[in-house]
Amino acid sequence: MKIEIRNRWTNEVIFSHDAEENSIAITVAKAVQSRSNLSGSDLSGSNLSGSDLSRSNLSGSDLSRSNLSGSDLSGSDLSRSDLSGSNLSGSNLSGSNLSGSDLSRSDLSDSNLSGSNLSGSNLQPIRDDIWAVLSSAPREVPALIEALKAGRVDGSTYSGECSCLVGTLGTARGVGYADIDGLEPNSNRPAERFFMGIRRGDTPETNQVSALALQWAEQWLETMRAAFEPTPTSGK
């Protein structure tokens, strides 16, 4: 059986492989092993879990809704790729180039983003959802900021000394994670999925997800403070 990898824009065959089974993962692995240039590939919806894609060139590729859980993508070029809705949980993205990529609705839980380049990536839907969560617990945001700085956030659990976004806000308020008015825990929402990329001990200096979460929390707080500052009045 011949399996083909095609260019997402031109439909041109980039790489083909004769396989005994219909496995796109094997074909992609063969392409990577042969150092083929897979930029612009159409791999949307593919199951590539556990694949060794390290140092591959997948720039500009369509990997939306793909299962990349547990894959080794270290040192790979994923710039300008569409990774929206993909499962990147447990993947190794260390040293990868994700600049300009679309990571909206992606699952980054337990993934290794150390040394990766996220500049210009489309994370706005995630940021906006985090801001929506913060708007439900505005007084607790300073405590969340301190927890992020101190490495006391763990996106994998709702409770405990170190907990996820909603759990940390609940602890700061002195209530359970499910007892914040107007905020229901939902592990599928973008904000909570993003925080799964933070583990106990991770700080903004060691974890890009934590760094971005801190940046967005501080931006939200600064915006809210500016909005409610008294308007200066001119004296007569």
Task: Assign 233 a pLDDT band (cuts: 50, 70, 90).
Answer: low
Mean pLDDT confidence for 226-232 = 78
Percent of the chain scored above 90 by pLDDT? 72
For the chain, list the strands marked E by DSSP: 2-6, 13-18
Mean pLDDT confidence for 49-53 = 95
Residues 153, 70 share a domain = no
Task: Assign 140 a pLDDT band (cuts: 50, 70, 90).
Answer: very high
Q: Does residue 135 carry a pLDDT above 90?
A: yes
Residues 131, 111 share a domain = no
Tens-place pLDDT, residues 163-183? 999 999 999 999 999 999 999
Global pTM value = 0.73
CATH number of the domain that 80 lies in? 2.160.20.80
Residues 117, 158 share a domain = no
Asked whether residue 30 is assigned to any structural domain, the reply reads yes
Q: Which residue has the higher pLDDT, 217 or 156?
A: 217
Residues 150, 69 share a domain = no
Task: Assign 22 a pLDDT band (cuts: 50, 70, 90).
Answer: low
**Into how many domains does the chain fold?**
2
Percent of the chain scored above 70 by pLDDT? 97
Asked whether residue 211 is assigned to any structural domain, the reply reads yes
Query: Between the CA of residue 227 and those of 21, 113, 222, 224, what are the distances in Å?
Result: 60, 34, 9, 5
* pLDDT attached to residue 15: 96
Which domain range does residue 182 map to? 124-228
* 3-state helix, strand and coil shares in percent for the chain, rounded to the nearest 5: 30, 15, 55
* pLDDT attached to residue 110: 72
Residues 14, 1 share a domain = yes
CB atoms within 10 A of CB 218: 14
**Which range, 118-122, 123-127, 136-140, is most confident?**
136-140
Residues 109, 20 share a domain = yes
* pLDDT attached to residue 102: 93
Residues 101, 114 share a domain = yes
Question: In the listed set 122, 153, 187, which residue is the last one of a domain according to the structure?
Answer: 122
Q: How many CA atoms lie within 13 A of 227 on its CB side?
A: 6
Residues 137, 117 share a domain = no
Tens-place pLDDT, residues 173-219? 999 999 999 999 998 788 988 898 898 999 999 888 899 999 999 99
Question: In the listed set 104, 122, 140, which residue is the last one of a domain according to the structure?
Answer: 122
Tens-place pLDDT, residues 57-73? 999 999 999 999 999 99
CB atoms within 10 A of CB 222: 10
State the Cα–Cα distance between residues 37 and 41, nearest whole angstrom.
9
Q: Distance between terminal CA atoms of the chain?
A: 86
Mean pLDDT (the chain) is: 91
Residues 134, 107 share a domain = no
The answer to whether the CB of 126 falls within 8 A of the CB of 197 is: no
Mean pLDDT confidence for 40-46 = 97
The answer to whether the CB of 92 falls within 8 A of the CB of 178 is: no
* pLDDT attached to residue 221: 97
Candidates 118, 151, 148, 116; CA nearest to 215 is: 148
Query: Between the CA of residue 29 and those of 70, 97, 108, what are the distances in Å?
Result: 14, 19, 22
* pLDDT attached to residue 208: 82
Residues 165, 112 share a domain = no
Question: In the listed set 87, 122, 157, which residue is the last one of a domain according to the structure?
Answer: 122
* pLDDT attached to residue 146: 98
Asked whether residue 236 is assigned to any structural domain, the reply reads no
* pLDDT attached to residue 187: 84
Q: Does residue 113 carry a pLDDT above 90?
A: no
